[in-house]
Amino acid sequence: MQNFVKKVRASARKNPKRIVFPESTEERTLSAMEEITKQGIAYPILIGNPETIKKTARKLKLKIDWKKIKIVDPLTSPFTKEYAKKMAEARKEKGMTEKDALKILKSPSGIYYYGTMTVFTGDADGMVTGAACSTGDSVRPSLQIIKTQEKFHMVSGIFFMIMEKRMLLFADAAITIDPDAHNLIDIAEDTAKTAVTFGIKPRIAFLSFSTKGSANHPRAEKVRHAVEILKDKYPDLVADGELQVDAALVPSVAKRKCPKSIIQGDANILIFPSLEAANIAYKLVERLAGAKAIGPLLQGLRKPVNDLSRGCSVKDIVNVTAFTVCQAQGGMF
């Protein structure tokens, strides 16, 4: 399964896209630029002062081909006023004025909004951010401006958990703390679409502490209700629940616990009942099982915006960039 990441990078190289990085002086992000430009994975756009960015790169002894990188300084760019106008228009219901927007875009913390505006206006095809801030801070501008694909649709985050002989998609591991049944349906729909984007045929297990009614509790009932609605909406989608994780992943256990289930220990998408369960699970699998965790990739937005863990490595940033390019492409070649 380690070859999967190589395939994603190869697909990105075939048709690289413009990806904006607001955290342009963050050391790992800037170091990733060396690899991204060398491999031709994307056309990076950095937000910030060119002299400061290049000075930081020299300090890190990086060998970056600056001809392959676009740097946009919010304080001097001719696009800033236009962005402020469009940002105010997008946020007018919240009382934002053009003056307010311009002040935000020119502020040090406004880099996340500026990056979002480059994607919103079509000046960039996607954004990778979050190495230096919380998920809330990195995602909020996109929720406010780019917004979701459909009204009332939710945004969720998935991790690709890549192991030696298996790959799983974990969702929602980033955004919604306590999803209800309808939230779980949105998460499952978007995760299935993400899987297809990356050439994976979805087999979805909705997880719980109960398997097919073995426990009677509102939390298990929430999951059962979500599965019923999803199956009615998408009868051809391979999905089942509620399932305990061993029944979802181990054929011999599935045979005993849920012999009639369409999922027989062969799920490749795990839909978790809560954010705490998903977050704990992905970090346990990453740290104890040695899985490569790529993400969280955000789902449900109109354009590709992906969040990084603050504990990410340079390699993680390069990989998430490649995944973001594939999303912007509309799918792997």
What is the domain-level CATH number for residue 277?
3.40.50.10750
Which residue in 56, 44, 52, 46 sits closest to 19, CA to CA? Answer: 44
244 and 314 share one domain: no
268 and 175 share one domain: yes
Q: Average pLDDT, whole number, for the chain? A: 92
Distance CA 93, CA 256 (A): 55
Which residue in 153, 198, 166, 148 sits closest to 270, CA to CA? Answer: 166
Longest dimension (CA), the chain: 66
| pLDDT recorded at residue 138 | 77
Task: Identify whether 296 is part of a domain.
Answer: no
- The total number of structural domains in the chain stands at 2
| pLDDT recorded at residue 263 | 96
| C-beta atoms surrounding 123 within 10 Å | 16
123 and 170 share one domain: no
10-44 pLDDT tens trace:
999 999 999 999 999 999 999 999 999 999 999 99
| pLDDT recorded at residue 148 | 80
Examine the pLDDT at 134 and tell me if it is beyond 90: no
130 and 163 share one domain: no
257-268 pLDDT tens trace:
999 999 999 999
174 and 268 share one domain: yes
158: region left, alpha or beta (phi > 0 left; psi from -120 to 50 alpha):
beta
Distances (CA, A) of 27 to 16, 30, 236, 293, 313: 23, 5, 46, 21, 10
Distance CA 288, CA 16 (A): 34
Percent of the chain with pLDDT over 70: 98
DSSP string across 279-290:
HHHHHHHHHHS-
State yes or no: cis peptide before 16, omega within 30 of 0: no
Task: Identify whether 295 is part of a domain.
Answer: no
91 and 115 share one domain: yes
197 and 261 share one domain: yes
299-320 pLDDT tens trace:
989 999 998 888 889 999 999 9
Distance CA 262, CA 160 (A): 23
| pLDDT recorded at residue 254 | 95
Percent of the chain with pLDDT over 90: 78
Which residue in 103, 102, 142, 181 sits closest to 22, CA to CA? Answer: 142
136 and 30 share one domain: yes
Residues comprising the chain, all counted: 333
273-302 pLDDT tens trace:
999 999 999 999 999 999 999 988 999 899
71 and 142 share one domain: yes
Which residues, including other chains, have CB under 8 Å from residue 222's CB and lie 6 or more apart?
A: 180, 181, 184, 273
Boundaries of domain holding 246 = 156-288
264 and 230 share one domain: yes
Segment 238-264 mean pLDDT? 95
Which residue in 126, 108, 135 sits closest to 48, CA to CA? Answer: 108
Examine the pLDDT at 92 and tell me if it is beyond 90: no
Which residue in 109, 50, 121, 47 sits closest to 84, CA to CA? Answer: 121
By CB atoms closer than 10 A (0-12, 13-18, 19+), residue 306 is: buried
183 and 278 share one domain: yes
DSSP bridge pairs for 271: 171, 206
- Cβ–Cβ < 8 Å for 118, 22: no
Examine the pLDDT at 76 and tell me if it is beyond 70: yes
Assigned token pair, 23: 């955290």
What is the domain-level CATH number for residue 129?
3.40.50.10950
| pLDDT recorded at residue 1 | 58
Distance CA 129, CA 112 (A): 8
145-169 pLDDT tens trace:
998 877 667 889 999 999 988 999 9
Assigned token pair, 322: 């490649």
16 and 143 share one domain: yes
Task: Identify whether 294 is part of a domain.
Answer: no
Question: Taking CA 139 as the corner, what is the angle to CA 4 and CA 312, rounded to the nearest 5 degrees?
Answer: 45
pTM: 0.89
| 3-state per-residue secondary structure call for 6-33 | HHHHHHHHHCCEEEEECCCCCHHHHHHH
Helices (H) and strands (E) in the chain, counts: 13, 11
Distance CA 176, CA 156 (A): 7
Of the candidate ranges 76-90, 93-107, 132-146, 255-269, the one whose mean pLDDT is the lowest = 132-146
Distance CA 130, CA 29 (A): 10
